[in-house]
Amino acid sequence: MNENKTNINWYPGHMAKTKRQIREKMDVIDVVYELVDSRIPYSSKMRDIDDIIKNKPRILIMTKYDLCDKEETNKWLKYYENLGYKVLPVNLGNNNMEDLVKITHEIMQEKQIQRIDKGLKQREVRALVIGIPNVGKSTLINRMAKRNAVVTGNMPGVTKNLSFIKTNSDILLLDSPGILWPKFDSEEVALNLASVSAIKSDILPIDEVAIHILKKLNTFYPSILKQRYNLDELVEDYEMVYDKIGKKIGALISGGEVDYDKVSLAIINDIKNEYIKGITFDRR
């Protein structure tokens, strides 16, 4: 590790711009859907979100619940509930969105009654969808809209602009590009974010991300690690693990030596492509 990752200048201008644009839209927003990745319920929670959304009602949505270690993630779910959050775990692969519609209506009920009391007409609910890159914001919108209204993709930085999307309920959704915060609180947080492909892979050294993943698996999920890479026993010597993986997947350079970059990428892609799942890296 060459330098302190928390100091890496990786915070791109477009994220600052997105924050500014969201702030400008907050006046018309009724409710906020804040998305976190169920595999890193702490590391993926936007640090400066309260400053952006102020006191708008919010629902904390834990995406990719199908990929997490439910026992560990449920501890976080309870933790956030105890802090007063409304929390909803979802698998956007097959969840229907009725629960979210229902909770949204519950939250909005009081506001709608106030509107009627004031003699105003009821209007659609406007919900901002916000969160880190690649967490599933646009996928959630497509599920709610029951059509492919916006582009999604398994990489950070797919959505480029803010846009309102109509659904066939009375909820209007504001899709937004993924944002992070200017300074990571720790290397642990940065590496956790990179482990779930929330940070572009050219920002942190891929070997450090891959070793971080191996260490986490070794500590918390040794059987998953052993099974995925046919390891007979676990070793603290990650070079040996790299050699084994490299030979297994045929990541070799001429002369038969293992291509370490290829192995690092293979490890990262194993999480991205859901070969390694049932994992939660943050501990409560």
Considering only 40-48, 154-162, 188-196, 270-278, which stretch makes contact with Mg ion by CB under 5 A? 154-162
Q: Does 180 bind ligand GTP (CB under 6 A)?
A: no
Q: Does 67 bind ligand GTP (CB under 6 A)?
A: yes
Q: Between 108 and 137, how does the x/- string for binding to Mg ion read (CB under 5 A)?
A: -----------------------------x
Instruction: Output the CA–CA distances (angstroms, integers) from residue 137 to 94, 150, 176, 238, in the order listed.
Output: 15, 10, 8, 35
Site for ligand GTP in 2-61 (CB under 6 A): none
Q: Which is nearer to ligand GTP, 97 or 217 (CB)?
A: 97
**What are the strands of the beta sheet with 86-89, ordered from one edge?**
86-89, 58-63, 31-37, 125-131, 171-175, 163-166
How far is Cα 84 from Cα 155, in angstroms, rounded to an integer? Answer: 32
How far is Cα 159 from Cα 66, in angstroms, rounded to an integer? Answer: 23
Q: Which two tokens stand for residue 78?
A: 């309870």
How far is Cα 192 from Cα 194, in angstroms, rounded to an integer? Answer: 5
Residue partners of 162: CB distance under 8 A and separation at least 6: 18, 21, 22, 25, 174, 175, 176, 177
Neighbours of 43 (CB within 10 A): 25
Smallest separation, CB 64 to ligand GTP (Å): 4
Q: Which is nearer to ligand GTP, 161 or 227 (CB)?
A: 161
Q: Does 154 bind ligand GTP (CB under 6 A)?
A: yes
Q: Does 138 bind ligand GTP (CB under 6 A)?
A: yes
Q: Which is nearer to ligand GTP, 178 or 205 (CB)?
A: 178
Query: Which of 18, 43, 139, 218 lies at the binding interface for ligand GTP (CB under 6 A)?
Result: 139
Smallest separation, CB 15 to Mg ion (Å): 13
Residue in the block written with tokens 């109509």 = 166
Query: Which of 93, 110, 182, 239 lies at the binding interface for ligand GTP (CB under 6 A)?
Result: 93
Q: Does 176 bind Mg ion (CB under 5 A)?
A: no
Strand residues in 107-212 grouped as ranges (E) = 125-131, 163-166, 171-175
Binding site for Mg ion (CB under 5 A): 137-138, 158-159
* Interface contacts to ligand GTP, rule CB under 6 A: 63-64, 66-67, 90-93, 133-139, 152-154, 156-159, 177-178, 274
